[in-house]
Amino acid sequence: MMRRLLSLISFPRLLFLFTQSLTTSTWTCWVYALSGTRHANQTVFGAKEIQTKVTLMLMISPRMASGMQEKQYTPSLLNFFIYNPTFGPREGEEEKKILFYHPSDVEKNEKIRNVGLCEAIVQFTRTFCPTKPAKSLHTQKNRQFFFEPEDNFWIVMVVRNPMIEKPNKDGKPPTVEYQEEEILDTVYGAVVRECYSMYKLFNGTFGRAMEAGGVELLIQKLEKFFYRYLQTLHLQSCDLLDVFGGISFFPLDKMTYLKIQSFVNRVEESLSLIKYTAFLYNDQLIWSGLEQDDMRILYKYLTTSLFPRHSEPELAGRDSPLRPEVAGNLLHYGRFLTGPTNLKDPEAKFRFPKIFVSTEDGYEELHLIVYKAMSAAACFMISASVELTRDFCEQLDGLVGPQLTLLASDICEQFTVNRRISGPEKEPQFKFIYFNHMNLAEKSTIHMRKTASVCLTSVHPDLMKILGDINCDFARVDEDEEIIVKAMTDYWVVGKKSDQRELYVILNQKNANLIEVNEEVKRLCATQFNNIFFLD
């Protein structure tokens, strides 16, 4: 990237070098240590060769800068298609390559043209790097993302770049300004990969469909799944959490955790058909018997699709009148979120969704039973070869319902006590995102709510863009690193990468300097992550 030198300022032991990008409105301040002995592992502000990097980004909203009459358009899905270049190798058979195309009402020749262009781009880039084909194509109006999940099967997503419509005088058509740099490849590339992972969770691989029924069956499965799934994509809400695809874990004391583990063991022993179990509370994971990658995508489905569709208010604790006990037997609040809605209905259907999880030999097909009581949910997975009957569901309801209701009440009481001990929550001066690559644990105080339709954040989208930029910088290097950014809105943004862990902090302290910001981040690590080691 071309830059020009703006100024050079020297302080005792430090050199500040200011540069400006010639292609973007980005200023960068490079801080060098001029003298002094460098000891092993001793750094200034956490970096190595260059001690720290402070990027000053223009954060003025175009709408605010140029008047309220301007119209802003967020990223939107233009096309989404799946093709296999080996299915139509001869001239005149190009349409056979197309397995799925959205929107479906696009004229046939346009579909063939768009697929052919993507195929040509992929083949052209292979000449430079055969092992790493193209991942994205940047144009003024849109961004194309390419993903090859299986040999010769390509998924392409075309996203319209965000844009601003500026009105002109004298009745002339408005001027359209595309903001192509506002879209991050890492974020939307992760969205494409997640589309395939979600399909694979419920349908297995593309190759499995081909083996079972050929191209026709694969096309049917793709149409059925993606017709509904693409309607749930809200690209304007995608951000750093989509890159991580992590799992939020619920914090518990040892005794309550042992109660949950004992509950899982008792249920699996009593109902021997159950192969895997997962336990969640308040949309956060506590226990899982699945592999990490399988649990990651199942967790995404549960928290953004299934649970929001069956949301209910949090019920009270054990002493609440909402939890009566009749003749010593607990009247539980358990119910099936998948399968029968009412066990007493004589016409109830006992069909459960099927999922595919990875095994040493390939994939295993399972029934997915999701059972919920209050804010606690248990997921039971049973081999798809087993036929689930009314008797089994009644047995599961009678066994799990009372115990799960008691557990949910115990967890709720413990959570309430802990909050009472910690005192009333104060609005912190910082917000953060934490992710651990080893166990996929993520924690965010920036995201207020995730639903099936939107992911609400408590900070400006421009600050989320900075977080994504920092993450891109971290992805380019394997070493531990720290980046500090000062936005024109007077926010400080800090990114720390240390031993497979990443921490991103947004500070609202406009009068703070670098040293004070660094100390504030250290205090945050000491209070929120006291049992996690971060390199200074």
Give tens-digit pLDDT for 150-200: 999 999 999 999 999 888 877 788 888 999 888 999 999 999 999 999 999
Cα(279)–Cα(264) distance, integer angstroms: 8
State the pairing for strand pair 481-487/52-57: parallel
Where does the pLDDT of residue 324 fall: very low under 50, low under 70, confident under 90, or very high at 90 and above? very low
Query: What is the helix (H) or strand (E) element at residue 111, kind and residue range?
Result: helix 108-126
Q: Would the pLDDT of 138 be above 70?
A: yes
Cα(459)–Cα(448) distance, integer angstroms: 10
pLDDT of residue 67: 47
CA distances (Å), origin 299, targets 249, 278, 286, 288, 340: 11, 10, 11, 10, 22
Where does the pLDDT of residue 516 fall: very low under 50, low under 70, confident under 90, or very high at 90 and above? confident
Whether 462 and 61 have beta carbons less than 8 Å apart is answered as yes
In this structure, which amino acid lies at residue 74? T
Distance separating the N- and C-terminal Cα atoms of the chain: 29
What totals of helices (H) and strands (E) does the chain contain, helices first? 11, 27
- Region of 204 please: left (phi>0), alpha (psi -120 to 50) or beta: left
Tens digit of pLDDT for each residue in 258-314? Answer: 999 999 999 999 999 999 999 999 999 999 999 999 999 999 999 999 998 877 544
Burial 289-328 (b: 16+ CB within 10 A, else e): bbeeebbbbbbbbbbbebbeeeeeeebebeeeeebeeeee
Angle between helices 185-203 and 461-476 (to 10 degrees): 80
- Write down the pTM of the prediction: 0.81
At the second CATH level, the architecture of 254-422 is 2-Layer Sandwich (3.30)
Where does the pLDDT of residue 453 fall: very low under 50, low under 70, confident under 90, or very high at 90 and above? low
Cα(296)–Cα(291) distance, integer angstroms: 9
At residue 203, φ and ψ (nearest 5 deg) are: -130, -10
Cα(92)–Cα(113) distance, integer angstroms: 12
pLDDT of residue 275: 95
At residue 163, φ and ψ (nearest 5 deg) are: -150, 165
| Mean pLDDT, rounded, for 322-338 | 61
Q: Would the pLDDT of 460 be above 90?
A: no
- Asked if omega into 130 is within 30° of 0 (cis), the reply is no
At residue 51, φ and ψ (nearest 5 deg) are: -65, -40
Domain boundaries of the chain, sorted by first residue: 1-59+429-536, 71-238, 254-422
Q: Which residue has the tokens 């890492």?
A: 186
How many Cβ atoms sit within 10 Å of the Cβ of residue 393?
19
DSSP-assigned letter for residue 303: I
Tens digit of pLDDT for each residue in 10-29? Answer: 333 444 444 444 444 444 44
Cα(277)–Cα(368) distance, integer angstroms: 10
Report helix, strand or coil for 56.
strand
Cα(41)–Cα(284) distance, integer angstroms: 37
Whether 273 and 392 have beta carbons less than 8 Å apart is answered as yes
User: Token pair of 109, please?
Assistant: 């020749």
How many Cβ atoms sit within 10 Å of the Cβ of residue 448?
10
Cα(292)–Cα(362) distance, integer angstroms: 16
Fold of 71-238: Beta-Lactamase (3.30.450)
**What string of DSSP letters covers 395-439?**
HHHHHHHHHHHHHHHHHHHHHHHHHHHH-S----SEEEEEEETTT
Intrachain domains 71-238 and 254-422 with the same fold: yes
State the pairing for strand pair 376-383/354-359: unpaired
Report helix, strand or coil for 326.
strand
Torsion angle in degrees (nearest 10) through CA of 279, 284, 290, 293: 170
Whether 195 and 229 have beta carbons less than 8 Å apart is answered as yes
Q: Would the pLDDT of 401 be above 80?
A: yes
Burial 264-283 (b: 16+ CB within 10 A, else e): beebbeebeebbbbbbbbbb
Cα(110)–Cα(59) distance, integer angstroms: 39
Where does the pLDDT of residue 382 fall: very low under 50, low under 70, confident under 90, or very high at 90 and above? very high
Cα(491)–Cα(59) distance, integer angstroms: 10
